Amino acid sequence: MEELKRKAACEAVKEIKDGMIVGLGTGSTAKYAILKLGEMVKEGLDIIGIATSLESERIAKQVGINVADINEYDSIDITIDGADQVDDNLNLIKGGGGALLREKIIASCSKREIIVVDESKIVSGFSFPLPVEVVKFGWKRTAEKLAKLNFKPRIRHGFVTDNGNYILDCEYDKLENVEEMEAEINNLPGVVENGLFIGLASEVIIGKKEGTEIMRKIK
C-alpha cells in the first residue's frame, strides 16, 4: 500500500513548477509528496510551501522547502493533500490525521487541489467516521447536538489539534446530502469545522498496482 501512495504522490508533484506557492498536505500519502518536493528543491526547484499542519511544516523544513505563512499570500497555486475517502463526485472525507481545519482553509484558497490516495480510498458511499473539530468548552454539549443529527460521536482520546481543539469522530449509518450536511454541522455552536470537503478537489490521483489513474472534476 505504501508503494501505491508513493506512486500517486510522485505523479502529483510533476505539476509543480518554479515560482509556485504550494500547499503541503498532511498524512502518510501527502508526506511522500513533501519528501519528493524536497528532492526537487535540492535539484533547483524554487517554490514556497504553505503547510497544513505543524508536522508537515516540520518535514518540509527538514527537506529544505521554504515554508511561509498563509497570511502572506492571497492564493495558492496547487495544494497536494491526501484523503480518508473519496466518492464518485470527488467529495472527500478528511481529518483522520486531525488537520482538517487548516487543510480546508488552504484548500479553499487553492487554485487547484490535487488529492493523492491509494485505490482503497475510492468509495461509492462514505463509511469513514466523520471527524469534527470542536472547541474544548462544552464539547459534550456539542456532541449531543451532533447525536441529534444521527451521528454517534466519540472524542479522540489524548488528541488536541494544532489549533488547541478536540476532535469528535462521528460514526453514522449512511451519509446523504453531504453538501447540506457539511453546512448543518458547521452551524452547530461549538463546531469549528468538519471533515466533509465538498467541491474542493480539482482532481484525484489514485495509486494502483498497475500505475496511476486520474479522476477529474467535471466542469
Query: Which positions are catalytic?
Result: 103
For residue 78, the SS3 value is: strand
Residue 193 contacts by C-beta under 8 Å, 6 or more apart in sequence?
100, 101, 104, 132, 133, 186
Integer Cα distance of 29 and 42 in angstroms: 21
Pairing of β 66-67 and β 48-51:
parallel
In whole angstroms, what is the distance from residue 93 CA to residue 194 CA? Answer: 9
Helix (H) or strand (E) holding 146: helix 139-147
Q: Are strands 211-216 and 203-208 parallel, antiparallel or unpaired?
A: antiparallel
Report how far residue 180's alpha carbon sits from residue 187's, in angstroms, rounded to the nearest whole number: 11
Q: Alpha-carbon distance 136 to 64, whole Å?
A: 35
Dmax (CA) of the chain:
54
What cell was used for 144? 449531543
